[in-house]
């Protein structure tokens, strides 16, 4: 019985290595780049995995994953709102008869939307921070930054 267990334990790293190699090869050979939505989902999945790895308490990890999902949705909503605003400004700017009041009304409306989204984002962030220790928050920083950078790329396009 001991020899069987020893044999299995020696093979396990080899199996894991081959599975990782196959996974890397499969993703590296993919000819289709990810859409922004697919990239965001991949980032969110990576962030969820990172949370579950770093936050030892499953209940806190579950809640943090849920809040991160809400925060991500809010980010995509914000990007959509900014893109809508850009289109409205462009349309208004192309209208020769547009008045200063038209621009001020549009800007005021966008400011109100932005303020509402900002309040929601800050409330979610506070809840997320309250669920983590300082050390956990710092460890999760890289996953958050990667998701933010990809969101900003989408906003810039």
Specify the residue for token string 């303020």.
115
Burial class (CB in 10 A: 0-12, 13-18, 19+), 39: middle
Distance CA 93, CA 13 (A): 62
Residue ranges per structural domain of the chain: 1-31, 36-156
Write down the pTM of the prediction: 0.67
DSSP characters for 14-35? Answer: HHHHHHHHHHHHHHHT--SPPP
Task: Check residues 112 and 79 and name the one with the higher pLDDT.
Answer: 112
pLDDT for res 43: 77
- Whether the CB-CB separation of 72 and 147 falls below 8 Å is answered with yes
- Whether the CB-CB separation of 124 and 67 falls below 8 Å is answered with yes
pLDDT for res 56: 92
* 24-66 pLDDT, tens digit each: 444 444 457 877 777 777 878 888 888 999 999 999 999 999 9
Distance CA 105, CA 101 (A): 6
């Amino acid at each position: 019985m001991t020899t069987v267990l020893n044999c299995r334990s020696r093979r396990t790293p080899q199996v894991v290595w081959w599975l990782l190699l196959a996974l890397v090869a499969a993703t590296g050979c993919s000819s289709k780049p990810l859409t922004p939505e697919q990239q965001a989902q991949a980032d969110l999945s990576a962030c969820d995995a990172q949370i579950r790895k770093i936050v030892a308490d499953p209940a806190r990890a579950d809640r943090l994953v849920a809040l991160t999902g809400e925060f991500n949705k809010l980010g995509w909503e914000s990007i959509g709102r900014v893109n809508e605003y850009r289109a409205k400004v462009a349309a208004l700017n192309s209208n020769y008869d547009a008045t200063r009041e038209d621009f001020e009304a549009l800007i005021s409306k966008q400011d109100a939307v932005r303020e509402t989204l900002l309040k929601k984002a800050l409330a979610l962030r506070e809840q997320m921070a309250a669920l983590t220790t300082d050390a956990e928050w710092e460890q999760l920083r890289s996953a958050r930054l990667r998701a933010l950078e990809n969101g900003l790329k989408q906003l810039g396009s």
